A and B are shown apart, each in its own frame.
Chain A
């Protein structure tokens, strides 16, 4: 099960990171926790892969990063959605939902046919 999920991660992880930041700036750890919780730990098998993804998104200008203080007064690198990131998230979410619905419908239909 884990392997097939992992193959999906590449595209989906970026989307989830953007989604996690819609409630405000978060540091990497908080983002990881949110994804874990939201996906019921189905997606982020290796948390380490989150960081290259964050940096890549920053590089693409979808998120912005700055050093700040965490709740426990520790230095942490915070990420925030940029205007570009926000637009991207909206667009990608629509595409994803259409796609997921279409795939879901198709799979459901095939299953019922077979049944």
Chain B
């Protein structure tokens, strides 16, 4: 091709239609003209010559049409080939380019992958927990109502629920489903006895939620009459596990705690009401007597608002009804209020702030990652100006260059996305492993496609924009200008895009570093505050000695153990049997952890003599004498329970026994007996009165971050209960005793299951699980951010050093000392990070209040945290600038002068 004279351009493809046609016209016209001239030269007149030339040529129209046909075909094929060919070239070129700079590529891809992965994983969790609608019909209209006493939210009494149902007008319906905690359900039959969790549901529950069974049916109205309620709906899980997913189970009789039930339906595993783990539902058939007798046992009432009714309107109506009830029956309802929230808020409410903060944090990580890669690309763009200019000068069109850079950006972004997808998968597994047990709806996790798409989209966009910078800088210029510009830039540099802030020259890549540093600071401070919170929580004295204590939860079925005498006898034997174990120091019965009954009121002998007052709420525990010793709860005054604090005969009105005693905790002593001693005072609960015989230390049973509630302990042998926690203090690892304890229990009753074993250490750890979750995640995000920011500072400083090698050489040649150059570069890196620090501090002072609700024992602007974090960040910035600074001092005057 180069042999063709007067060649215009190398890269030129006449594929456009109008070009093709005019080319053919011109070619043929040229031919005719040349022929005519030749004929004129041979002696013909111009007119004759023109005619002769046309005659010799033949049909011009036919020739043109033929050429046009061929040209079109050729153009179509060539266009396809070229597009493919150039794409192929672009991809090949991009891959070679990345292969030449493996370090750059690896850092960019990993950075993008981490950013995409972390944010997708976090968003997946947030979406699963906070955003995804509940699996019920029109869940937006579902609300949850509970009762309150003195500002504290408590369970609902069935009798009040029935009144609400009768009196409200704002709801399509109200329904309840609550676990039978008073009774254990043991599924017996052919297999080993299976302890299951069952719930009682009210008449409209299934219809109200809009859920259908996968097999069979739900309850009929008449099945809510006492005596006709021997029917049960099973969970899909239980149906599969126990009945081999056999549809024929519908209509079969099963035995639950020695009572026979007919299986009428199976609910899908997605139905988790009132909470996860419930495996059977029975009708709530309460006689009027039971209704009046049963206390506050319903965790919450579920209601569906009528269309158009707001939560606020419904809330006001329910409050008004509570006031009515209090007026009608002040003895039972005075002081009680109601509280209402959308159902989703109720289920996830306490996780919302933590999750949103973590989502914000991971968003920052993504932004930092994008900024980092953008910075890398921008730096590289400057290096590539010369390359772009040369390619442009050789005839590459502007679009061709842009397409090339676009391809590079796309490949980089896609590699990042693939890395990100695997990181997201790992991240979700990690989050699941770390998630606190109480985190609702987490088990339904699957990587969220939308979140992944969003993260990848944002990243791709940023990467592509940054990739295009070299094209934007160069391709618009005339090739020669572009080359000249490159020369200028390659020299001492009079670059154009530059801002001046407070006398500093600020380049775009500097802005990235400042932003990164600021955001890292934010995350580090967040992590620091959460770490201090966690540390503070671990310093909190829970009020008992958790080490080497094992708890086993035991529930006696009322069918085999019908009364208090049986319960007392069984558990006394259990204590004797387990205390006989060689590794067990002591044993006691108490309430299972976190299941202390909350009582709203009790009459006490107050400070004013003879004047009974009603206290605020308190929790109650029924414990054996050995409980305080086993748990390590200190006795402060008076005495603990003794063997003589027991009822021998539970027949008749035993609760009127005058020898009933109680022990209160310090919080209660301070609140209800200020200035005096509670010992010897009488407290009255319903019809039974107890004389206070001792005061013990506070136990933080509502969580380490909240104050201990008022607590009252009753002697177990005076008021035995059927569902208890057996506590054992052991010599060695408490879990070693599990098998032995089980053996002793089965020696007493081979059909009695133990619901769960737990060490008190684990209980304590679990109580901090939410804080640990927030802390670990925030720390991981902050570490990621710090590493990325350090990389950013390192990159920019190294680049500046590389660019200024000549300058450093000159400085050295003119007598500057190595230490001078070293400090110059170090200051350059430090300057950027200090600017970022300043921006970050302002933002942190303003933003940390967002996590105030997650903090304990530390203020959102904790000076210690701020100082330490700043020091860490400055240290890292210095470290990141140190290597480039060392390199700058090695600049040899002669070599660097010869560089240009």
B26, A77: Cβ atoms under 8 Å?
yes
Interface presence of B34 (CB below 8 A): yes
The listed residue with most B CB atoms (<10 A of its CB), out of A45, A48, A58, A64, is A48
Residue pairs across A and B with Cβ atoms less than 8 A apart, 20 shown, are: A24-B3, A25-B4, A32-B31, A48-B28, A49-B63, A51-B27, A52-B63, A52-B70, A55-B67, A59-B73, A66-B1, A67-B8, A68-B5, A68-B6, A69-B5, A75-B30, A76-B27, A77-B27, A78-B4, A80-B1
Pick the residue among A48, A52, A64, A76 that contacts B30 (CB under 8 A). A76
Closest A residue to B26 using CB positions: A75
Interface presence of B487 (CB below 8 A): no
- Complex Cα gap A25–B8 (Å): 15
A29, B3: Cβ atoms under 8 Å?
no
Residues on A with C-beta less than 8 A from B500 are: none
Closest B residue to A81 using CB positions: B3
- Complex Cα gap A76–B28 (Å): 10
Known contacts A46-B57, A46-B58, A66 near B63 by CB under 8 Å: no
Lowest 4 CB-CB distances: which A-B pairs, in order?
Answer: A46-B58, A52-B66, A48-B58, A69-B6
Known contacts A29-B34, A46-B56, A80-B1, A66 near B70 by CB under 8 Å: no
Residues on B with C-beta less than 8 A from A24 are: 3
Q: Kindly identify, within residues 1 to 39 of chain B, every residue whose CB is under 8 Å from any CB belonging to chain A.
A: 1, 3-8, 12, 23-24, 26-28, 30-31, 34-35
Pick the residue among A29, A66, A69, A75 that contacts B31 (CB under 8 A). A29
- Complex Cα gap A55–B20 (Å): 11
B3, A25: Cβ atoms under 8 Å?
yes
Further contacts, 17 of them, CB under 8 A, given A64-B1, A74-B30? A27-B30, A28-B27, A29-B34, A46-B57, A48-B57, A48-B58, A48-B62, A51-B28, A52-B63, A52-B70, A55-B66, A70-B30, A75-B26, A76-B27, A77-B30, A78-B5, A80-B4
* Chain A min CB distance to B58 (Å): 3
Interface presence of A47 (CB below 8 A): yes
A49, B30: Cβ atoms under 8 Å?
no
Q: Kindly identify, within residues 28 to 57 of chain A, every residue whose CB is under 8 Å from any CB belonging to chain B.
A: 28-29, 32, 45-49, 51-52, 55-56
A51, B6: Cβ atoms under 8 Å?
no
- Complex Cα gap A68–B71 (Å): 19
* Chain B min CB distance to A84 (Å): 13
Residues on A with C-beta less than 8 A from B57 are: 46-48
Closest A residue to B63 using CB positions: A48
Residues on B with C-beta less than 8 A from A69 are: 5-6
Closest A residue to B35 using CB positions: A29
Contact with A along B255-287 (1 / 0, CB 8 A): 000000000000000000000000000000000
Closest A residue to B77 using CB positions: A59
B60, A77: Cβ atoms under 8 Å?
no
* Chain A min CB distance to B500 (Å): 51
Is chain A's binding surface mostly helix, strand, loop or mixed? Answer: mixed
- Complex Cα gap A93–B5 (Å): 28
B: interface residue count bin: 20 to 34
Closest A residue to B1 using CB positions: A64
Interface presence of B332 (CB below 8 A): no
Closest A residue to B65 using CB positions: A52
- Complex Cα gap A67–B56 (Å): 24
B31, A47: Cβ atoms under 8 Å?
yes
The listed residue with most A CB atoms (<10 A of its CB), out of B7, B23, B35, B67, is B67
- Complex Cα gap A55–B14 (Å): 13
Interface presence of B611 (CB below 8 A): no
* Chain B min CB distance to A14 (Å): 13
Known contacts A28-B31, A55-B70, A68 near B63 by CB under 8 Å: no
Interface presence of B137 (CB below 8 A): no
Task: Number of A interface residues at 8 Å Cβ cutoff, please give it.
Answer: 29
Residues on A with C-beta less than 8 A from B329 are: none
A55, B6: Cβ atoms under 8 Å?
no
- Complex Cα gap A59–B62 (Å): 18
Residues on B with C-beta less than 8 A from A27 are: 27, 30
Known contacts A27-B30, A75-B30, A49 near B58 by CB under 8 Å: yes
- Complex Cα gap A28–B58 (Å): 15
Q: Kindly identify, within residues 49 to 80 of chain B, every residue whose CB is under 8 Å from any CB belonging to chain A.
A: 56-60, 62-63, 66-67, 70-71, 73-74
Residues on A with C-beta less than 8 A from B59 are: 46, 48
Residues on B with C-beta less than 8 A from A48 are: 28, 57-60, 62-63
* Chain A min CB distance to B696 (Å): 99
Residues on B with C-beta less than 8 A from A55 are: 66-67, 70-71, 74
The listed residue with most A CB atoms (<10 A of its CB), out of B1, B4, B12, B74, is B4
- Complex Cα gap A25–B27 (Å): 15
Contact with A along B481-523 (1 / 0, CB 8 A): 0000000000000000000000000000000000000000000
Known contacts A47-B57, A59-B74, A29 near B67 by CB under 8 Å: no
B27, A68: Cβ atoms under 8 Å?
no
Residues on B with C-beta less than 8 A from A66 are: 1, 4, 7-8, 12
Pick the residue among B3, B24, B56, B71 that contacts A47 (CB under 8 A). B56
Residues on A with C-beta less than 8 A from B67 are: 51-52, 55
Pick the residue among A51, A70, A80 that contacts B63 (CB under 8 A). A51
Contact with A along B284-299 (1 / 0, CB 8 A): 0000000000000000
- Complex Cα gap A25–B30 (Å): 16
Residues on B with C-beta less than 8 A from A52 are: 63, 66-67, 70
Closest A residue to B75 using CB positions: A59
* Chain B min CB distance to A71 (Å): 9
* Chain B min CB distance to A103 (Å): 28
Residues on A with C-beta less than 8 A from B30 are: 27-29, 70, 74-77
Known contacts A29-B34, A59-B74, A47 near B58 by CB under 8 Å: yes
Closest B residue to A47 using CB positions: B57
A58, B66: Cβ atoms under 8 Å?
no
Closest A residue to B59 using CB positions: A48
* Chain B min CB distance to A114 (Å): 38
- Complex Cα gap A47–B35 (Å): 10
- Complex Cα gap A47–B59 (Å): 9
Residues on B with C-beta less than 8 A from A59 are: 70, 73-74
- Complex Cα gap A78–B180 (Å): 96
Residues on B with C-beta less than 8 A from A28 are: 27, 30-31
Residues on A with C-beta less than 8 A from B71 are: 55
